[in-house]
Every structure is written in structure tokens, then in C-alpha cells.
Structure 1
Amino acid sequence: MTAFNGFGDKALPFLKALGFHQDRDWFAENKALYESEVKGPLGDLVEAVSGRFQAEGVPLRGSRKTSLYRVYRDVRFSRNKDPYNTHASALMTRTGTKKDNGFVYVHISNERSFIASGFYGLDGPQLRAFRDLIVRESDAMRRLVKAMEKHGFTLDMSESLKRTPRGFDDIDDDDVIAWLRLKHFTFIDEIDNGIVPTPELADRMVRLGSLSVPFLDFGWRAIDPLRDEPAS
């Protein structure tokens, strides 16, 4: 099992400096520092957590080859043409790839570091299926949300629709209405950057991932039938 001992003391200072030096020559000169202080430890983190998930029966995995997001930004459709991300992030899923949904995600930056679990960016049919399941099994959804709340995690309500989606106008349960208006279904663990250089970061990922399994199973029941449908 890969060991994770924390990010080095130079990781966050490097990401901060990268924000000031959005320059390909500067990055080329400092790429070795990025590899050793940011990318390498992030790969160690993912593989260490993946091994612990496997040992605990959590159906999420990842590797340094498939789970890490690139430092290079896709600027083709963005007004911001800065070439580099100033954060480090990775996604762990059932397949170990970033194309799957139902995940544990880690995000490290000077501005905000956090771990997230749940479902993000579901396509239209998947989102509708998730909402339909919430309506059909509202009691189960309530139990899952309350179970996470007991451990200090609440659904992120920051991206919600102002109106209830079409087709759900007859719902009168305030909790269900709030869930139906969500664009994403995620629980967030905000991370103090003081633990970024420590093994505790892996512990926090394992804890959130383990606690999230019942909620992830709920969401997978909604979206898996669509996932398995042949392309039209």
C-alpha cells in the first residue's frame, strides 16, 4: 500500500507562485518542483486512500495515472487564458476514472481546500432520475441526509434553482422541494490548510468516503439504469 505523509511545505507556496507566474517559461523552469511537491504527493494521497478504501470495502478507487486533474487549463472556451490551474485536485470513483459519477474529490489550494463526496454535473436524464428517486423514496433520502448530518456533514445547498423543476409542482414537503431544486448532490468537508502537509488529509478522505457509501449507493440506484443503456 502506498504511503501518504502529507504534501511538502513547498506545495502551497508553489501553487501561490504559479498564480503570479502564469508563464510557460517559468513553469518549465520549475516543473521539477511541481512534480516533487504537488503532483507526486497528490498521487501518493490517491493511491494510499484507494488502498484503504479497498481494505474497508468502500467501492471507490483511483490511481496517479487516472485520478489526477491536470495542471494545464483548457482555455479553448474560457475568457481566462491563464494556462495553469493554481490548485491540485483528484477524483476517486467506482471505475477509477474521472468520467464516472459518485465520487470522493479532493481540492487543495491557498484560497480553499476541501474534500467532497456525492454527485456533481449529472446530465439531464440522470438528474431527472435522481430527483424521481428522491420523490419515490423521500423517507430513505431523509434518513441518509440526517445520518450524514450527525457526523457534521450537510448537503451543499449553494447551487440551487429558484423554482422547483417542472413536473414536481405538486410536492409540498419542504425538505423534498429543497432537494429537488439542487443542481448537484454533494457533502463538503472544509479543510484547514494546516493539515495539508500531514497524513490527516488521507484520514479525512477515508472518513468522508466511508460515511458516504449509503448515499452513493442511493444515487447509483438512480443513475445506473441510464448508464447501462446502449447509446442511441
Structure 2
Amino acid sequence: MEGAFKGFGQKAIPFLKALDFHQSREWFLENRDLFERELREPFGDLVETLTERFAAAGLGLRGDRKKSLFRINRDVRFAKDKRPYNRHLSAILSPDGTKMEQGVFYAHIGLEGCFAGVAWWQPGAVLLLAMRRAIATQPDKFRAMVKALKKNGLELDTEGCMKRTPRGFEHVTDAGLVAAIRNRHFVVRHAIDPAGIHGPALVDELVDFTLRARPLLDWGRAIEGRALAG
């Protein structure tokens, strides 16, 4: 199909390294064509190719090259670090194609690593409470989801979890459930070999990962549906 993902350019990572070194608007503008050709346009192709593949697989995730990509520019208004440019480029595919939804696919190509994730990331207070209550009141469903992920070679990320059990869940004593209730996010990740970003096989790799992460999507969507209905 026209616009099918063929791979990121060979200079994609070198461009990010040079941009990180210069951190200069003048340098970026001089090299903008390189950015568009090696990184941004291929990322747009990746988003739209994945949208078609995700639709065919019934994953309920979509995006487009205009809405899904994050800006390379950093928001420095309230940051101590005033460097104007990110060290990565990233994108989200979501149920409605915007960046405002939960239960998303995220792809990240950068100097700190290349990876993908399926995530309920910083869900709002109502949804996060509903997820925690689901863990406490329907532990078998949560354990089945975790078991299915493990069978698929994935496990929930524990980064950023609370040190103490949130109020209202003190009665939960099972160590595994307590650890899950302390999560602020529900995320699984897939490391991408930077050497593998330059060809179309990356699409199959990311579709395979997202299918393996489907138990997390299904678990969260069922809870979200009840929370919104309530």
C-alpha cells in the first residue's frame, strides 16, 4: 500500500545524537529535511501501517501521522532543564486516535533506547480507583490476566509504584495483590533492537507484541466500561 512503512532511515539515530549535541534551533532548522526524511515521515508511515494492521487484528487502536506523533520540541516552560529538543521521537495509537485516551500503544525511538509499550498510563482518579477495586474484589480475573501475559512472555512494569498501600485497601493482605494495588500505571514493554528499526519487519514485531499484550488491554477495557457506565 502507498505509504507503507519501509523502515527508519539509517541516519535516524545519528540525527538524534547530533541534535542532542547541538540543542540549537539554528542547527535543527538547517537539518530539518534530514529529520523529516529519516525520522518523522517514516514514523508517520509506521503509525498508519500499524493502524491498518491493528484494525485487521481487532485490537481497537488507531492513529495518524498528524495526531499521533509527539513533538521533537521539549516543553521547557516549567522545567529546570531548558534544552529545547527531546532525545527521542515517539507516538501513540489509541482507541479514538487521540493522545487523551487510556489503553494505548506507545512507540519510542531514542538515544535512551527503542521500545514499545501497551499501557494504562497515569489513569485518572476514577479509573485508577476502579482498577484497584477490581484487583481487590476480583482477584481471580487479575491473576488470570497476569498469567496470560506471562505465558506470552510479558509482565507488568512496577516502575513508579507507591511505597504504601493507598487508603481504603488496607484490608488486602495478599502480597501480589498489594503490589498491584500500589501501581500508578499498568504497563507492559517490549525492547526494540535499534539495529532492527530500518526495515519493514518492525511492523510484524510490533503487531506480535501488541497481540501478546492483549490480555492487559481487555482487562482494563472491561473495568473502564463499568467505571464509565457507573
TM class by smaller structure: over 0.9
Shift in Å at residue 200 of structure 1? 2.7
Shift in Å at residue 134 of structure 1? 1.4
- Hey, what does 1:127 align to over in structure 2? 128
**CA 1:19–1:122: 2 relative to 1, 3 Å:** same
**CA 1:84–1:174: 2 relative to 1, 3 Å:** same
Matches within 5 A, 1:152-163: 152-163=153-164
- Hey, what does 2:19 align to over in structure 1? 18
Q: Tell me which moved more, 205-214 or 138-147.
A: 205-214
The amino acid that maps onto 1:34 is: F
- Hey, what does 1:113 align to over in structure 2? 114
CA contact 2:72–2:85 (8 Å) conserved in 1: yes
Q: Tell me which moved more, 7-16 or 154-163.
A: 154-163
The amino acid that maps onto 2:142 is: M
- Hey, what does 1:203 align to over in structure 2? 204
CA contact 2:149–2:215 (8 Å) conserved in 1: no
Matches within 5 A, 1:1-232: 1=1, 2-227=3-228
Give the Cα–Cα distance (whole angstroms) in 1 for the partners of residues 156 and 6 of structure 2. Answer: 30
Give the Cα–Cα distance (whole angstroms) in 2 for the partners of residues 198 and 54 of structure 1. Answer: 22
**Which residues of structure 2 form unaligned runs of 5+?**
none
Look up the SS of the partner of 1:106 in the other structure: strand
Give the Cα–Cα distance (whole angstroms) in 1 for the partners of residues 38 and 225 of structure 2. Answer: 38
Which whole-Å deviations, capped at 9, do the CAs of 1:33-78 have from their partners, x for residues lacking one?
1011110000011111110011111111111011100111111111
The amino acid that maps onto 2:79 is: S
Q: Tell me which moved more, 214-223 or 186-195.
A: 214-223
CA contact 1:110–1:193 (8 Å) conserved in 2: no
The CA RMSD over aligned residues, in Å, is 1.5
Give the Cα–Cα distance (whole angstroms) in 2 for the partners of residues 226 and 79 of structure 1. Answer: 37
Give the Cα–Cα distance (whole angstroms) in 1 for the partners of residues 112 and 90 of structure 2. Answer: 13
Give the Cα–Cα distance (whole angstroms) in 1 for the partners of residues 148 and 117 of structure 2. Answer: 16
Shift in Å at residue 227 of structure 1? 5.0
Look up the SS of the partner of 2:31 in the other structure: helix
Give the Cα–Cα distance (whole angstroms) in 2 for the partners of residues 77 and 130 of structure 1. Answer: 31
Look up the SS of the partner of 1:121 in the other structure: coil
**Which residues of structure 1 form unaligned runs of 5+?**
none
Percent identity, aligned pairs only, is: 43
Give the Cα–Cα distance (whole angstroms) in 2 for the partners of residues 170 and 136 of structure 1. Answer: 11
The amino acid that maps onto 1:46 is: V
Give the Cα–Cα distance (whole angstroms) in 2 for the partners of residues 217 and 187 of structure 1. Answer: 13
Shift in Å at residue 226 of structure 1? 4.9
Equivalent residues, number: 229
Shift in Å at residue 201 of structure 1? 2.1
The amino acid that maps onto 1:131 is: R
Q: Tell me which moved more, 179-188 or 212-221.
A: 212-221
Look up the SS of the partner of 1:70 in the other structure: coil
Give structure 1 regions of 4+ aligned residues with deviation exceeding 3 angstroms: 224-229
Give the Cα–Cα distance (whole angstroms) in 2 for the partners of residues 223 and 33 of structure 1. Answer: 41
Shift in Å at residue 85 of structure 1? 1.0
**CA 1:144–1:83: 2 relative to 1, 3 Å:** same
CA contact 2:160–2:184 (8 Å) conserved in 1: yes
Shift in Å at residue 110 of structure 1? 2.2
The amino acid that maps onto 2:177 is: V
- For normalisation by structure 2, the TM-score amounts to 0.95
Give the Cα–Cα distance (whole angstroms) in 1 for the partners of residues 96 and 196 of structure 2. Answer: 28
Give the Cα–Cα distance (whole angstroms) in 2 for the partners of residues 74 and 228 of structure 1. Answer: 35
Look up the SS of the partner of 2:75 in the other structure: coil
Give the Cα–Cα distance (whole angstroms) in 1 for the partners of residues 81 and 50 of structure 2. Answer: 33
